Every structure is written in structure tokens, then in C-alpha cells.
Structure 1
Amino acid sequence: MKQDVLSLIEQNYPTLSPSARTIANYLQQHPLAIVSQTSAEIAEHTQTSKATVSRFFRQLGFESQQDAKQAQLQLRQQGVPVLTQGQSIDQTAEELKNLSLTFEGLRTELLDEISAQLANASRVTLIGFRNSYPVALHFRQQLQQIRTSVRLLPQPGQTLGEDLHDILDDEVIVLFGFRRRTRIFKKIVEALEGRNTILVTDPTGQVYNQQVSKVLVCHLGNDNPFYSYAAPMSLVSMLCNRVYSYIGENAQYRTQSISNLYDDLDEMEL
């Protein structure tokens, strides 16, 4: 993986010529120019020449300014938070687009099947790393209010081998894997082959389609430096509501009992 252009500028800055430092200063102040401007435009803004700009990018290790641009865009595709769009992004429109793309791609019969399995399984195991962990944690918090035997992995500071070994025959595993996934993710997928594993991922995670039981794809957006997890959180909310409906009165009794415990322990504000 090639490094971020800005990181390479910082590393090579001491060895740059005065004109190259002018270009470096400009790009550090206007990082979007790396992907939005041509060599001629960068030269014009820095009062240098196209040849100087080309030499600058070669000194950083790229074949050309276009090569640097493609490397920067590729980093974003791999999940690295780099700026590739201007500051005028309509965040509301971006979130609505992610939600629409996600829910339009989900089949009702698949959601019904998954919800029924989550409601009836002897145990539900939720697994997530890095940015996937908070989504898995929220799912666990919601599910545990309406059914028993919901666990979250990995536990802090613990290995996974023991827990994966103890997967039950009728257990449902929900594996969250949003980019950038850890190296162990692939091995976990392999270890769970043959189990009832539901993968919740972004479009890049579809490479594991043949190794899991079901796949739910969430769109995270690509225009901002950081991905949005509004769609995965909304999917979790929808699944929990569906599971609640499947469980019915027992879910209602459980939530009421838990609420009574909140009162007894004085855990919640009124």
C-alpha cells in the first residue's frame, strides 16, 4: 500500500528544493488539490512549472501527479481517511443516500428469515473489531433487552479460540466486518464455515459471500474522509424491532422486568 501523499511530503520535506517546498506547502494547505487539480493548475497556484511539479511527485516516489492522485483515491477506497472531496458536501443528502442504497438492497424475505433465526436461536453471538465493535455492542445491548443468551466477542484482552470452539449447533453468529478489517477477520470467517453465520459488511466484504450463510450489505459513503455508520446502526435497529415482533409477549415481559430492575437499582434518570 502506498503512503498518503501528505505523509510522504512530511518525510521528504528536508530534502526538497526551495521550489519543491513551495509546492509541498501549497498541498499541505490545500490537500484536496492532490486529487482535484492538474499539474498545470498546481504549477499556476505555486508559481512554478509543470516540469517542477512532475519532478516533485517523482521525488515522493510517484511516476507522475496522476499516479499520486490515483494512489490517494485508492487509499480512500481501502478505508484510509483522506480528503478526496471539497468542503461543500451535503451531509444530510450523503446520509440519506447511504440509507437508501442500504435498505433498497435488502430483500424482505431475507430479513424475515434472519429475524426469525435471531428470535429462536439458543444463543446469539455478535463479533466485531475496530469500527465494527461499537455496532456489534449496540446490537447486543438491544437484543439483550428482548431475549436471553446474547454474547459479544471478543471480550477485552481475551483470545477467541475458546469462544469459537464452543459455538452451539443451533447458534446464530452475526459477524460485523466493515473496512478496514483486521487480518484475523479472514481466519475467523474460515473458522466459522459451516456455521449459521450472518455477515454484516460494506460492499467490499462481499468477497466472503461463499463462506457465510447470509450477507447484509451496508453503504458507508465514500466522499468524506471518514465513513458513516448511520446505515449499519439503522439496520441493527430494524432487525431488533423485527425480532421483538417475532418473540411477542415474552419480549414485552422481559423488557418490563429489566425496567423494574433499573428502578430497583436506581440506574436510570427519570
Structure 2
Amino acid sequence: MRIDERIAAHHDSLTPQERRAAATLLEHLDDLATYRAAELADLAGVSRATMSRLFRSLGFEDFDEVREHLRGLRGTGEPRRVDGAPDVETLAAAEHASIVRALEHPRLPEVAGLLALAQRVLVVGWRNSYPVALHLRGQLAQARDDVRIAPVPGQTTGEELVGLGADDVIVVVAFRRRPAHLGAFLDAARATGASVVLIGDPSAVAHASRASVWVECPLQHTLAFDSYAAPMALVSLLADGVLATHRRRGPARVRAITETYERLGEVE
């Protein structure tokens, strides 16, 4: 149980002082782990002993165990400050390491080849993964024909699979926190006969066996919210690989798109 759920479950059995301490925990839940136990006790106006008793009443040995609990929640993608904001150099180094890991994945050339040679490409993503999927679709559409995105806002994904076959590729972007029906969708995608590329953070490895190609891409989560710098860099590398494969048609398509932009006055 999450710490807020534990507080709710044990609330009636807490002493008045422990309830006061619990209220302070709930007020500072978003940045709880950035405090020390003594600071939380001072904020609540209770003794350190009372705060320690509250932790034990909630099933935690001490505040260090509360921190580990919060790190576990952060590891599932839940926005939560755990260790405070890092300095810029530390954050930049972590971002750089994530991007390098993503771009060094050994199967990226294979994926780029599949995307370049497929008859049709369907890119799928939900929740936080949708912007990555949409960006991938937009970049691929510059380099090749017939690239679709799903789900279209307000629509479902089932109809997008009908008609796909062995000459097609389905790219599923599945970073945490993923929809519960992801497994069923991957099974249905494989059943079409199309090649299925699954791109996700390490927590998606449980679904890897359902895909033709599994591409692990780390998320950087030093801050409260996940950074998608590495996935976006991966998208750029894949699109570049597709454009390089289409040495003649790709540049001609880019020029045609640019001319259309100019005629319509859509971009500066």
C-alpha cells in the first residue's frame, strides 16, 4: 500500500498527536523525502518520538524505509520528488548518459531498415508515450510514404490493425505508465503478421517477448517528472536512418513537402 493509503487505513487507530503528524505527511507528500524526520516533526509540532511511532504504525521501520517506499513509487513513473533538485551539472550528466545508452542500442539499424522498407508503418502510443509516437510519425512522414499514428484522438486502436500484414511494421511506444491492455494489443498486432517493434523503458521488458524487436530506451528520472530526452533522440536517429536508406526518394519527398509548406504558407 502507498503511504497515503496506509495513513487512511490506520487513521482511526492513531493518537491525536500521530494524526497531526500524519496530516503533515499528507501535506508534504509531493516532496516528503526531501525533508529529514526531525524537520517533519518540527513542521507538525510533535516530538521526534511521535513521528517515529507514526512511521512504525504505518508499517515502516524508520524514515529511511519511507524514502525507499517513495523511490519505489518514483520508479513506477509516479511524479514525486525524492532527493531534492540536483545541480545543473549532475542533471546534464544524467541526461547525457541516458541519451548515449539509447543511441547505442545494437538493434537500431535493424529497426531503421524495417521502417524504411515496410509498405506501411503504424506508430502507436498512449499517455506519456503518445508525444514520442507522434514525433516519430512526424519525422518518418518526412522521409517516406504511408506512416500512420494511433490512436487518433477520440478513437480506438482496433480498427487500425485491420488490413495490416507481413509487409508492414507496427511500432509500439510503451513507456511507463502504460495502459493495462498493452499486452493484448501486442498480441493482436503480432497476429496481423506485421513486424512489431516495441520501444520502452526497462520496466516494459515483461512485454518484450510479444514483439519482433525489443528496443530498451531509458528514461532519466532525476527530477520529479521523467525526462524524454533519450526517447526523442532515439526518434531522430531512427528517422535519419530511414532517410539515409531512401537516398533518392527521401530527399525528393522532403523537397516536395517543403514546397507544399511554402504554397500553403503553413510555416515560416
Which segments of 5 or more consecutive residues in structure 2 lack a partner in the other structure?
none
1:169 aligns with: 166
Given that residues 20 and 52 in structure 1 are in contact (C-alpha distance below 8 angstroms), is that contact kept between their aligned partners in structure 2?
no
Preserved CA contact (<8 Å) 2:220 2:228: no
Aligned residues of 1:6 and 1:31 also touching (Cα < 8 A): no
One-letter amino acid of the structure 2 residue matched with residue 197 of structure 1:
V
Q: CA RMSD in A?
A: 2.9
C-alpha separation in 2, matches of 1:88 and 1:101: 21
TM-score normalized by the length of structure 1: 0.84
Instruction: Note the residue ranges of structure 1 that are not aligned, 5 or more in a row.
Output: none
Partner of residue 73, structure 1: 71
Alpha-carbon offset, residue 221 of structure 1: 1.9
Question: Kindly tell me: are residues 25 and 103 of structure 1, through their superposed partners in 2, closer, same or farther at Cα, counting changes over 3 Å?
Answer: same
Q: Is the 8 A contact 2:199 2:214 kept in 1?
A: yes
Q: Deviations over 1:138-197 (max 9, x none)?
A: 111111112111000011111222222222221011100000101111211121235310
Aligned equivalents of 1:131 and 1:16: distance in 2?
41
Q: SS at the partner of 2:142?
A: coil
Q: Which moved more, 1:224-233 or 1:161-170?
A: 161-170
Partner of 1:243: 242
What is the count of residue pairs matched by the alignment? Answer: 261
Deviation at 1:94, TM superposition (A): 2.2
Letter of the 1:52 counterpart: T
Q: Distance in 2 between matches of 1:117 and 1:210?
A: 18
Measure, in 1, the Cα distance between the counterparts of 2:18 and 2:169: 61
Q: 2:196 touches 2:213 (CA, 8 Å); kept in 1?
A: yes
Partner of 1:144, secondary structure, is helix
Distance 2:29 2:68 in 1: 17
| Map of 1:17 onto structure 2 | 16
Shift of residue 29, structure 1, vs aligned partner: 5.1
Scaled by the length of structure 2, the TM-score of the pair is 0.85
3-state SS, counterpart of residue 223 of structure 1: coil
Determine helix, strand or coil for the equivalent of 1:192. helix
- Asked if the contact 1:179–1:204 (Cα under 8 Å) also holds between the matched residues in 2, the reply is yes
Tell which deviates more after alignment, 171-180 or 214-223: 214-223
Identity percentage of aligned residues? 33
- Structure 1 residue 34, shift from structure 2 partner: 3.5
Structure 1 pair 245/7, CA: closer, same or farther in 2 (3 Å)?
Answer: farther
Once the two structures are superposed, residues 202-256 of structure 1 have per-residue CA deviations (whole angstroms, 9 ceiling, x without a partner) of 0111112211111111111232111110000000001111110100111111111
Pair 1:232–1:44, CA change in 2 (3 A):
same
